[in-house]
Structure 1
């Protein structure tokens, strides 16, 4: 027996090499996604195996255990739990911005509940996954041997989707980790097209299109410094906050309603955290916390004690619980099998390069097939052109191989062409089939020319990339779920970096349809409807909706999607949930002009209140606008500059005209000053700010009316009895309003009939002049009158 050869090795060298091999295996084969398809090997193998099983979106679901077994047995020699857990996450709409697996059964919940065992659940590919796998049979990607070299698997999927960004990725390798947040597909595709059109585009300009992450659970990103840093350097930190609103429960009590929570936070854990902070005394004035979530969506109710300040409690919840949490961004992915940290532009560039490569490989593959087909068709064409010769050759040949050799010689065709001629059916010899053969040849040559143009012209190639991206956007694009706000604790943050701030026009119709446009030219109303309010401002301005109960509800202009052309907008209740007993009496854009001046309110009991517009700035969606006496209601709201004149009109036909400066400005939570001294049973029905060359219109419920010069309504001191606007008390007054001769008004009956009247057509008389018939109804009365806003910029 020979002595065994022993080679001495230093233990530190052995450990170093072994650990290095292990590290590379973890980095490349397990933990990090590929920059091209955004997938780790396990996810790629799950999708590929599911497709190979035929579990496409239009086929029935199959047991998850069947899919897991296929993945384990053929491609992924690891534990079944790791494969199933990966598949479960791909099916969870609270983890994936765009789910890749369509799960059937219990796939877990946002409460942190685990999915049911794989033997109970079923799955198949989600529709969007087909676009990750499309063209995989067209030689678009390389295939590599599986773990035992018995099969081949794709090294990457020929993804049409920028999956790395739209679904994000997180994983821990050895000495490095990745944490890429999900993004909105429509925004990412728009950014890719921008980059296609301009390779020199800056990251700052790209951020105007891709303003930040977009999480499947919605929520709010506070501040954009972290986003800027991450997009520029590849690493950064962002603050995510749950979305909440404050609801008035009546009797001085309010509740905080949480409707969205930060990404990857367990709802049950959050509720437990909040209850714990209350127990420890970190937050007080909370009387109850309960989970009212259902199939309609997430809803955590935090009941507050009387006189509790909801804004203070919200801020403490942000401080002490995960309702506000930080997320680290590290955009690390594999590029040519090497881990690299990349800025957002570099990730987009890698994806575009990959799409060019996939389309080029697909075109080459299709060109080879088309040229092979052309070759066969040329042979068949030669045969049909020399039919007699073909028949003679075949009849004189003793065997198929001899016939093949003779055809090659006589027709000067190749071996493959000769085989195709011998396999040609007799029915191909009829004249219609011969014509079809010529058509097929022309068509295949046209396809060959097109495929060659793709390979020879980069502009055509890029146009195909662009068209396919737009197709994906059309199929799967959706609206942003995560709101991005500037951090009010950092004055330097620029809101316009994240939200496109521009001039907007907001219109509200009589039937409560709201619409945002970029121009007055695009303001439209539907049939049997009309525009009742138009306000202008910027996309970051708040819109205030004043109700008869003295509340001011607000939404930000950018929350309303922009509409164009003939669109009539969306129902207001999609954006603003008003209590059933409240009605909008005024709409004001809290733009720079309104903030610098005053917002005036008038009530049916004759009170007028003036408050600095800036006092209405608030992060709360509903605030008190006026302290009403019992039974009183707000009847109108308007913006004033402090130097204007006011006209109030009452049900009994009294009017009072006084200067605005007689009203002292007060805070929001006040009652205001007496504008008119009312008789018992009378009430204010109209509130007008006088404009130049105004007429005063008096309209009755019977449709009678008149127009009088505003000069007939003598200026008085406020809190007087006022002057009558009609001499005949037998008519029931509907409205007194100011207008100009080029305005028009809309009268609405109690059965919904609408009558439009030009102000210039209304008879002009003195203040106490006769009331003339302006519109007639059959056994009905008018119940509402609205001055149609003029479609001209102020």
Structure 2
């Protein structure tokens, strides 16, 4: 009768998952610290060795090996076993492949291997070192999954496989990434540690410089390597090995001969070609994969007069030509997963090999002692041969003969069995001599074995001798170059951005776009803007220039010109809010372009509540977050305050004057030198003393010969000389420049400096109507004139802006 247990789901899930986790950690995903193998790899090597499928014999079908492993030791899917065999044979994954394979075993391009029925495999020569002495009781054995035969829990691993070939795997709660190393370097470090048990990490790193990947490449970051060896966790950079070759006609090409470990070569070539096709950078003419049996070769051919180093830096930054590799040296140590330092791995391997030598020596000692005992019995038997023969002939059978020899001549049962089994032809003087020589030889061997077991120095001498022999046999040159520092990659804008002129437009409603000159020429009459929108900046500039857009709420939006969406001129473009949100009623009021970010000069900023300041250009250069956040260029005194003018002043614009006009018809003129320079997040100083309800409408940089054009809210246009406003000082009330009316007084909406009498002006109304004015059609007015009515506010709307008509195709 079954017993029903009352257990909570939480307890059941916890217990079952713990068992599952333990199983996949120990039996699937993580390598053993001693032989560096996962169970499936260990079973593959043991099964192939047991079947005699070794390097000195012919290849056998991979399917046969897979079947043997699956049927006898590894009760899992055949695909997982075959994939493990394939990986063990791939010389771009393992530093010292443990299996040799005939046929398609995959490629660096990510191609999968041919089906196992097509390929053939055998153990490589170095894998015999993994299994050497396994038949001498050197390792523990357990029953296989169906208790029909035994399998080893670990291989003798006569070379340090965990470090040499590395390991990678993911299990429940643990992952491992141990990079491959150079066999000769690791053996040298073990030999040093053997003589200096208290060796520090720096001592060991004299021998082990760092990882040695089978694909070569350049490793940068000694500090990352040292941290990884100290803690088991660290980060390095792996860079491709490249050369730049000059060609005829000022052309050049980048030749890539080694790529980072586990990078898919085909995907890398595809990514570089996509950069070429998408014109992420200018200058790449062609990308070719010229790899063959002679080795890897990827050629990136460049156009004429291209900065080849700049292109290479871009590729390092944006492709897998350079990747980060994170050490996570986790392995099974004493049946538990553990993150390991280099010293722990080397010490554990050294202790394991000392244990292997001891067990092997004890096995050889027992075997030699057993043989010596038999030889001594045979020699004794030959010395009394006639009596022995007489006794055997008088016996009933073999067992009786054995018992009689034991009883009459004090032979042991083992000796008596050997005597009875002795063939007659051996009963000669020659064989007596051979037995005596064998006895002497066995005696010496027993002394030697006993000395090894009783003297640690002798044991270490034997181990060192064998490690040196393996090092001599399999040592090869380092493939990966180690560089101390991680190179700082600087990508010049000249590489990313073509040196070409483009047309850029910024609209009042916040749309921005750039187009080729060809597209602009083909459709210059179609701006692509909505009917009620209009351009505030349209200019031919270079793709490498920088765009500064100022809003009326004190926010500065920066864009490199090449980052602006490239569209046809008749398209609308992108709205600035797609990357940076604008507040309600926030508008772009001024836009400037600069060829570099080291321009000398400053910005003159005025607000409608009567504040003004200068800000150095260098204080407004963009930060790293310019794509997501606007930059504050002025601090508002109140929520209702707005910026009404932003002008750029270069270092040559000195001794000039400013003119401000208020909505109530007051104007103030003073020297620009009275405006001090402040930081970005400040309000500045008083520009104009305003009465209640009055605001500043605009600001202009003027000189004595300038003429101004004003527009009022009633649609009246007034032309006036600057000299009508006398030069005074900042922060004063100013003088009246409109005639006062009791009913419906005029108010200044906006004004501008006239470029010339013939250049037309454009008035934009609240209904987004555009009204042209020819200044030469109107005479100069005095201070007390209200000008002439030009805009019908009833039908066209109230004027908002007056500006030069030509402003659409020039900088503001």
TM-score by length of 2: 0.59
Partner in structure 2 of residue 89 of structure 1: 87
Q: Deviations over 1:242-268 (max 9, x none)?
A: 100011112211111000000001110
Q: Is contact 1:427-1:433 (8 Å) kept?
A: no
Partner in structure 2 of residue 275 of structure 1: 273
Partner in structure 1 of residue 178 of structure 2: 180
* CA shift for structure 1 position 420: 1.1
Partner in structure 1 of residue 190 of structure 2: 192
Q: What is the count of residue pairs matched by the alignment? A: 489
* CA shift for structure 1 position 346: 0.8
1:79 aligns with 2:82: no
* CA shift for structure 1 position 149: 1.1
* Distance in 1 of aligned mates of 2:320 and 2:61: 36
Q: Is contact 2:237-2:486 (8 Å) kept?
A: no
Where do residues 476-625 of structure 1 align in structure 2 (5 Å cutoff)? 476-487=474-485, 489=487
1:385 aligns with 2:383: yes
Where do residues 266-415 of structure 1 align in structure 2 (5 Å cutoff)? 266-415=264-413
Q: Is contact 1:277-1:320 (8 Å) kept?
A: no
> What residue ranges of structure 2 are gaps of 5+ in the alignment?
490-812
Q: Deviations over 1:147-181 (max 9, x none)?
A: 11111111001110100000000000101100000
Q: Is contact 1:290-1:301 (8 Å) kept?
A: yes
Say if 1:6 and 1:399 are closer, same or farther in 2 by CA, change over 3 A: closer
* CA shift for structure 1 position 406: 2.3
* CA shift for structure 1 position 387: 1.9
* Structure 1 segments of 4+ aligned residues over 4 angstroms from their partners: 488-491
1:447 aligns with 2:435: no
* Distance in 2 of aligned mates of 1:278 and 1:229: 38
Structure with max Cα Rg: 2
Q: Is contact 1:170-1:179 (8 Å) kept?
A: yes
* Distance in 2 of aligned mates of 1:408 and 1:455: 33
Q: Is contact 2:284-2:300 (8 Å) kept?
A: yes
Q: Deviations over 1:731-764 (max 9, x none)?
A: xxxxxxxxxxxxxxxxxxxxxxxxxxxxxxxxxx
Q: Is contact 1:161-1:472 (8 Å) kept?
A: yes
Say if 1:476 and 1:6 are closer, same or farther in 2 by CA, change over 3 A: same
Q: Deviations over 1:484-542 (max 9, x none)?
A: 11226479xxxxxxxxxxxxxxxxxxxxxxxxxxxxxxxxxxxxxxxxxxxxxxxxxxx
* Distance in 1 of aligned mates of 2:305 and 2:158: 55
Partner in structure 2 of residue 246 of structure 1: 244
TM-score by length of 1: 0.61
| 3-state SS of 2:206 partner | helix
Match of 2:158 among 157, 160, 176: 160
| 3-state SS of 2:468 partner | helix
> What residue ranges of structure 1 are gaps of 5+ in the alignment?
492-794
Q: Is contact 2:215-2:479 (8 Å) kept?
A: yes
* Distance in 1 of aligned mates of 2:419 and 2:322: 74
* Distance in 2 of aligned mates of 1:200 and 1:25: 35
Q: Is contact 2:34-2:157 (8 Å) kept?
A: yes
Q: Is contact 1:96-1:216 (8 Å) kept?
A: yes
Q: Deviations over 1:582-614 (max 9, x none)?
A: xxxxxxxxxxxxxxxxxxxxxxxxxxxxxxxxx
* Distance in 2 of aligned mates of 1:116 and 1:239: 33
Match of 1:233 among 231, 234, 241: 231
Q: Is contact 2:276-2:285 (8 Å) kept?
A: no
Q: Is contact 1:256-1:303 (8 Å) kept?
A: yes
Q: Is contact 1:106-1:116 (8 Å) kept?
A: yes
| 3-state SS of 2:301 partner | strand
Match of 2:116 among 113, 118, 130: 118
Q: Is contact 2:220-2:487 (8 Å) kept?
A: no
Q: Deviations over 1:372-393 (max 9, x none)?
A: 1011111111111222321332
Once superposed, what is the RMSD of the aligned Cα atoms? 1.4
Partner in structure 2 of residue 709 of structure 1: none
Q: Is contact 2:46-2:131 (8 Å) kept?
A: yes
Q: Deviations over 1:676-711 (max 9, x none)?
A: xxxxxxxxxxxxxxxxxxxxxxxxxxxxxxxxxxxx
* Distance in 1 of aligned mates of 2:486 and 2:373: 70
Q: Is contact 1:27-1:173 (8 Å) kept?
A: yes
| 3-state SS of 1:140 partner | coil
* Distance in 1 of aligned mates of 2:417 and 2:137: 27
| 3-state SS of 2:247 partner | strand
1:34 aligns with 2:32: yes
Partner in structure 1 of residue 787 of structure 2: none
Say if 1:294 and 1:418 are closer, same or farther in 2 by CA, change over 3 A: same
Partner in structure 1 of residue 458 of structure 2: 460
Where do residues 650-665 of structure 1 align in structure 2 (5 Å cutoff)? none
* CA shift for structure 1 position 8: 1.1
* Distance in 1 of aligned mates of 2:261 and 2:487: 22
* CA shift for structure 1 position 402: 3.0
* Distance in 2 of aligned mates of 1:355 and 1:20: 32
* Distance in 2 of aligned mates of 1:115 and 1:404: 61
* Distance in 2 of aligned mates of 1:360 and 1:294: 48
| 3-state SS of 1:111 partner | coil
* Distance in 2 of aligned mates of 1:399 and 1:265: 74
Match of 1:216 among 214, 239, 259: 214
1:474 aligns with 2:472: yes
* CA shift for structure 1 position 279: 3.4
* Distance in 1 of aligned mates of 2:253 and 2:169: 39
Say if 1:305 and 1:192 are closer, same or farther in 2 by CA, change over 3 A: same
* Distance in 1 of aligned mates of 2:164 and 2:150: 28
Q: Is contact 1:382-1:411 (8 Å) kept?
A: no
Partner in structure 2 of residue 265 of structure 1: 263
Q: Is contact 2:99-2:121 (8 Å) kept?
A: yes
Q: Is contact 2:166-2:181 (8 Å) kept?
A: yes
* CA shift for structure 1 position 45: 0.7
1:8 aligns with 2:6: yes
